[in-house]
Amino acid sequence: MMRIAILAGAVCLLASATRAATPELTLSNGDLAYTDANGQTRVLSHDIDSVAVGPDGHSVAMIHADQPGPPYPTSLWVADELTGASREVVGPHDSADPKLKFESFYGADFSPDGGTVYVTVITGEDSRTVHAVSLQAGTERYVADGEEGGVISDGPYRGDLFVERDTPPPISHGVGIAMYVVSPDGKVMFMVPGSDTGVQNSGDAIRAWLTKNGWRSPSYDIPKPPQ
């Protein structure tokens, strides 16, 4: 497995201590470079907005900026850090239906089995939807309204998503948004406790909830409890 860290303006993905070597992926100024255990560096791709490493520790999902201007179309690629091979999984396509619109998206999180990548699609100035991309089939589908915020990797909600959504009226704390746990088929299950209060940000609320229950999500870097 790998974790994401931001160092000096670059995003680095570092292998965990469970691996014999410590290869490194660095995203800087849109260039995704890979340095192997021998210190040899090669560029895997250019014009990359964001990356995520899969649960196998070497599959990398990359969101590629296809055009620098409006409507800022993007495409999803995957690469193998062991070989440097990469391929496009799905490209942008527009639609008048917000649920079918898949033109400009960001963020990337793998499902626990590594077969799906979840992204957030921009459907309007203030509107977002979550879509699931099948890496094998090369297809995408609408999951839910809102902004994707990570995947739960273990426990009874393994494979479910964190999605930031508008809170239904009445708004008890005047914030108007909260993090919800949503199943891969789009069922909104429940709100993460404390994510709607405004006292702490939604990320802190998720970390507190995961830590309390002993569960994990790669997006929130919760250390695995000792055995």
Most confident range, picked from 68-72, 84-88, 131-135? 131-135
Can you name the residues that pair with 181 across neighbouring β-strands?
162, 190
pLDDT, tens digit, for every residue of 90-109?
999 999 998 999 999 999 99
Q: What CATH number belongs to 1-145? A: 2.120.10.60
Dihedral (CA of 194, 199, 201, 204) sign: negative
Which sequence spans correspond to the domains of the chain? 1-145, 149-227
Q: Judge whether residue 29 has pLDDT over 80.
A: yes
For tokens 């599959």, what's the residue?
59
Phi, psi (deg, nearest 5) at residue 58 = -135, -10
pLDDT, tens digit, for every residue of 170-208?
555 555 789 999 999 999 999 999 888 765 578 899 999
Q: Which helix (H) or strand (E) holds 64?
A: strand 59-65
What's residue 6's pLDDT? 32
Tell me the C-alpha distance between 214 and 209, whole Å.
Answer: 9
Tell me the C-alpha distance between 196 and 32, whole Å.
Answer: 36
pLDDT, tens digit, for every residue of 157-179?
999 999 999 877 655 555 578 99
Q: Judge whether residue 140 has pLDDT over 70.
A: yes
Tell me the C-alpha distance between 149 and 147, whole Å.
Answer: 6
pLDDT, tens digit, for every residue of 5-17?
333 344 455 444 3
| 126-137 mean pLDDT | 95
Cβ atoms of 197 and 176 within 8 Å: the answer is no
What's residue 100's pLDDT? 94
pTM: 0.83
Q: Judge whether residue 214 has pLDDT over 90.
A: yes
Tokens coding 33: 């470079």
